Amino acid sequence: MIEMQDVWKTYPDGTVALQGINVVIERNEFVYVVGPSGAGKSTFMKLIYREEVPSKGHLSVNGFNIGKLKHRKIPYIRRNIGVIFQDYRLLPKLSAFENVAFAMEVIESPRRLIKRRTMEVLDLVGLKHKANSLPAQLSGGEQQRIAIARAIVNNPAVIVADEPTGNLDPETSWGIMKLLEEINFRGTTIVMATHNKEIVNSLRKRVIAIERGSIVRDQQRGEYGYEN
């Protein structure tokens, strides 16, 4: 699903964010990416959803060579990758329903399909009854659920989640994790960067630890391995 061979990333200011990353993430895996702040986790994630391109090395996602992708092809790649952020990134003036439907509108799905599919994913994240609420009227956990609904509405092959529980209390975080596990169970690959020790240690998955731009540990059912 995701394959990196000797991937390097150097930013224009000279910062070397990743140096020689080699990793393969298979279809339907659930992977935690852990490590200290500034170690290169975010760059790792950004490479996957093609926010950044590798400076060197080979990277393919879902069979596409991301590094050599033509500019106009990028949107079509992104349709296969759902992205979730710590700060939800919902549009404040749109209702929960509209925020989710928006992701289908921009890829020009037929209207009737948009309505049916949007209600379906809102039901899946447990917020069908809040369809008409604005983000400001929802709690943090509910907003993140809407963001997740938006990420999965177009049936992506991969979900990239950058600290999805970073702003949430432990109880709400667990709700979000249950949801991600459910989505993973349905066949979507999940790559999640996190600082949440409890979650990593309790909900055991593959753990990839990145320090100073290199993978220092890659372990199935691994531990978080850092003191917060």
Partner 1 sequence: MKISTLARHLREGVKNVGRNGWMSIASISSIAVSLFILGVFMLLALNVNKVADQIESKVTIRAYLQVTANQAKIDEVERSIKRIPEVKSVKFVSKDEGLKQLRESMGEEGKAALEGYNSENNPLPDAFEIEVFDPQTVSYVAKKVMAINETDASKPVTDVRYGKGTIEKLFRITNAVRNIGLIFVAGLAVMAMFLISTTIKMTIIARRREISIMKMVGATNSFIRWPFFIEGALIGIIGSVVTAAVLLFGYSELTSTTQTDIGYYMIQLATLKDVGWIVTGSILAIGTLLGIWGSTISVRKYLKV
* 206/29 Cα distance (integer angstroms): 8
| Cβ atoms < 10 Å from Cβ of 38 | 13
HSE at residue 61, side-chain half, CA atoms within 13 A, is 29
* 130/97 Cα distance (integer angstroms): 8
Is residue 102 involved in binding partner 1 (CB under 8 A)? yes
Q: Are 153 and 121 in contact (CB under 8 A)?
A: yes
Is residue 91 involved in binding partner 1 (CB under 8 A)? yes
Window contacting partner 1 (CB under 8 A); options: 11-19, 20-28, 68-76, 204-212: 68-76
Q: Which of 24, 106, 113, 216 binds partner 1 (CB under 8 A)?
A: 106
Is residue 97 involved in binding partner 1 (CB under 8 A)? no
Is residue 75 involved in binding partner 1 (CB under 8 A)? yes
Distances in Å between the Cα of 143 and the Cα atoms of 35, 100, 123 are 26, 11, 14
Q: Which of 77, 131, 134, 203 binds partner 1 (CB under 8 A)?
A: 77
Is residue 11 involved in binding partner 1 (CB under 8 A)? no
Residues within window 111-150 making contact with partner 1, judged by CB under 8 A: 111, 150
Residue ranges binding partner 1 (CB under 8 A): 49, 71-72, 75-79, 83, 89, 91, 102-103, 105-108, 110-111, 150, 154
